[in-house]
Amino acid sequence: MRFPISMKDEETTKQLESHLNLSWVYFKQDMLEDSANELYEALKIDSKNKKALKLLADIFMKQGDIEKAETTLMQIIALSPDDAAILKEIGNLLFKKGDLKESINYYAKCLKLGYSDVELYLNVGNIFKSLGNYQKAFSFFMQAMKLEPENENIMKLTAELYINLEQYENAAEIYERMLKKEPGNLDYHKLLGSLYMLLQKWPAAIEIYKRAASVAPDDLGILNNIAICYSKQEKTKTAIKIFKHILEKDPNDYQVLSNLGSVHSKTGSFIDALEYYLKAQELRPNDLRITMAIGVIYDNLGKYEEAVAIFKKILSAEKDNILAMYYLANLYLYEDMVDPAIELYEHLIELAPDNLDAQTNLALSFLKKKEYEKALEIYNRILEKYPDNQVASEHKSFILNVLKSEV
C-alpha cells in the first residue's frame, strides 16, 4: 500500500531542490560563499544528501581547504561505502596532499569495484613510479594507454618509464609515434635523438638532430650532438668542422672545447688536444674530467712531471678517484718508483677488486722488487679467474723457474 505524500513533505522537497539548484547556479558563477550557504540550508533539510555534500566538497577544494574537503567526502563514503567515484575523489585529494600510501588504499578500493578511469591509472602509476616500483607503474600506464592510446601525456609518461627501465628501443618507438603527430615538436626531436645516441644508432641520431636543427637552427646543443655522432662514427673531419663552427658562435663553450680535445686525442693529435683541453680548463678549473684528460695527454706526450702533478691534484680533490690512482701508479712503476706504485695499486684494488689491470701491474711491481712469492700469489688469483691470461701465465712460469733455481 502506497501512502500519499503530505503537503508538508512536498514543500520540504521543493525547498531542498530550490537550495540545491541555487547552489549550483552560484557555483557555476564562482560565487562560492553564496553556493555554500545554499548547501548548508539544504543539509539542514537533509543532512545525508550526497549531492549537497559532494558540491560542498568541490567548493572546499576550490577554496583550497583540503581538510574540510576530505572530511566532507568521508561523510559521503560513510553513507555509501561502495561509491567508486567518491573513493577516487578521496584518492585524488590524498594524492595532491602527498599522502601516497593512503591514496593508494582508496584507489585500490576503486579498482576492486571495477572502476576504470585514465586519471586513476595515471595517478596510481605515478605513485609507483615515485616509489621506484617501475614494473607496477608500467602496468598502470599500459591500462591508461588502452583507454586512450593517443593521449600525449600517457605516451610521455610511458616513454619516461621505458627510459628508467633502460628499455630505450621502446621509448624511441613512442617518440617516433609522437613525432608523426607533431612533426615540428623540438623537444620530441631532442629526446628521440638522445635515445638514438644511447642506442648507438649514430646515423639515425644525426638524421633526427638535423631535422631538429631545421626547426631551431640557432640551437648549438643540437649541433654539438650532431658533431658527437659524427665523431662516434670516426668521421673526424666532419665532427671537428661542426665543433669549430659552434666555437665561432660561442668561443666560451667549454663542453665543445672539451669535445674537440677528445676528438683530437682519439686521433693521436695530442698537441692539438692539449690546446683545447687547456682552454676548457680555464673556463672550468674544477672539472676533474677535463683535468684527467689533460693528465692522460701529458702521459702520452711523455711529460712525466706534468702528468704526475695533474694526477696528484685530482687525488687531493678526490682521494678515491680510481682512474687518477691507476695512471699515477703506472707512472711510478714506469719510473721504477715501485713502493709508491704498490701502495696505490693496493688501495685501488680495495676499491675495485675486479680491476684486472691493477692486479697485473701490482704483481709486476712485486716482480720488479723480486718479491716473488707475493707476485706469484697475485698471478695465481688472476689465473683462477682468467685461466687464458697469457701475461699472468708467462710471469708465473718465470717465477717458478726462478724459485726452483734458488732451491
Residue among 165, 78, 150 at smallest CA distance from 118:
150
Give me the architecture of the 286-407 domain, per CATH.
Alpha Horseshoe (1.25)
Mind listing the pLDDT tens digit of every residue in the chain (407 residues)? 444 545 557 888 888 899 899 989 989 999 999 999 989 998 999 899 989 998 998 899 899 888 898 899 999 989 999 998 899 888 888 888 888 888 889 999 998 998 888 989 999 998 998 888 988 998 999 999 999 988 999 999 999 999 988 999 999 999 999 999 999 899 999 999 999 999 999 999 999 999 999 989 999 999 999 999 999 999 999 999 999 999 999 999 999 999 999 999 999 999 999 999 999 999 999 999 999 999 999 999 999 999 999 999 999 999 999 999 999 999 999 999 999 999 999 999 999 999 999 999 999 999 999 999 999 999 999 999 999 999 999 999 999 998 888 75
In angstroms, the first-to-last Cα distance of the chain is 119
C-alpha 225/C-alpha 241 separation (Å) is 13
C-alpha 395/C-alpha 378 separation (Å) is 11
- Collect contacts of 209-213 with beta carbons under 8 A, ≥24 apart: 212/186
Domain boundaries, given as residue ranges, for the chain: 286-407
- Collect contacts of 249-257 with beta carbons under 8 A, ≥24 apart: 249/220, 250/220, 252/283, 253/220, 253/224, 254/279, 254/280, 254/283, 254/284, 254/287, 254/290, 255/224, 255/280, 256/220, 256/224, 256/227, 257/283
CA distances to 164, 168, 198, 208, 353 from 201, rounded to whole Å, are 19, 11, 8, 11, 33
In the chain, the amino acid numbered 50 is K
Written in H, E and C, the secondary structure of 104-149 is: HHHHHHHHHCCCCCHHHHHHHHHHHHHCCCHHHHHHHHHHHHHHCC
Total length of the chain: 407
* Extended strands (E) in 208-270: none
